[in-house]
Amino acid sequence: MTSLQLVILMLSGVAVLLLGGAAIVVRRIREDARKARERAVSDAPVGGMATGMAASDSGGGAPRLFETVNKLGEAVSAGKTSKGLKANLAAAGYHTRSAAAIYLGAKVILFAGGVASLSAVLLPLGMPMILSILLIVFGSSTLFFIPNIVVSMRRTKRRKEVRTHLPDAVDMLEICVSAGMGLDAAWTAVSDEIRRVSQVFADEMELTSLEISLGVPRAIALRHMADRTGADDLSSLVALLVQSERFGAGIVEALTNFARSMREARSQRAEEAAEKMSVKLLFPMVMFIFPALLIVMVGPAVIELVRVMGSQ
């Protein structure tokens, strides 16, 4: 086995080890966020929310790795994190108070682990120092941005899920309001029904209902939901409900028109995706299907031609 193959093998092992640790940390953050939402919704309004958040942040029963990451993140951030980071984590579904500290701690641990592991692997090989330093910096920087990639992918996934199920939720909200239910009661009923198809959307709606029950104005609570999800269609729905409430317009008619526009927009997006499909299929067809057809169609002729040329 050559030295290059040994380096590739060892780097692959280190990458798998660090990615596994990052996956454990991310899974723990997600589990704590889910438990915090369940406690906040199921317990008493004020005391229940405080108890749920305290239980989530206390780290009871959490592994030492999780506690170490949390403490390291708090030490790095000095107890202060930017609002943009908190907003991004909330949009990804991480609503606990310790989410930002765990996020920063995971980045530091991945970077430090990458530097230590790659240094232990590359430096004894006798490679040029500049090349070794470049490989160490590149590999550690790649690991450093793994939490960014995870949060971005989760935020995009949640946004797509909310965008997909929003037209159905608006239709159900329109039906409930048309039947004589109040907007708050209709919102709660829709959140219970939408949970069967979208856990993410139902959780966001229940958090909004919880904020309203705690005394937050409905307009502000709805805007908070739009900011957390980042869905443009939901922002439009929030603006519609706020304007209808402010100016005393009929909510039923406004929801009917908005639901119709949402269905049309969804149909247009489906048609656009169908038209793009032909372009997306071009690459696999050229790379995999056309060579196979060419071999099947031209292969026998080429074999026969070679046989004739060899006989002469």
Q: Tell me which residue of 222, 246, 232, 227 sits closest to 173, measured CA to CA.
A: 222
What's CA 17's distance to the chain center, in Å? 22
Distance, in Å, from the CA atom of 214 to the CA atom of 229, rounded to the nearest integer, reads: 21
Question: pLDDT per position in the chain (312 positions), as tens?
Answer: 565 556 566 666 666 666 666 666 556 656 655 555 555 444 433 333 333 333 344 444 445 666 777 677 777 666 677 777 777 787 787 777 777 888 888 888 888 888 888 888 777 777 788 888 888 888 888 888 888 888 888 888 888 888 888 888 888 888 888 888 887 888 888 888 888 888 888 888 888 888 888 888 877 888 888 888 877 777 787 788 777 777 776 777 778 888 888 888 878 888 888 888 878 888 877 888 888 888 888 888 888 888 888 776
pTM over 0.75: no
Percent of residues in the chain assigned helix, strand, coil, to nearest 5: 85, 0, 15
Residue 248 backbone dihedrals phi, psi, to 5 degrees: 75, 25
Q: Tell me which residue of 98, 78, 80, 79 sits closest to 89, measured CA to CA.
A: 98
Helix residue ranges, H only, the chain: 3-42, 45-58, 64-77, 83-91, 99-122, 129-144, 146-178, 183-194, 199-213, 218-229, 232-247, 251-280, 282-284, 290-311
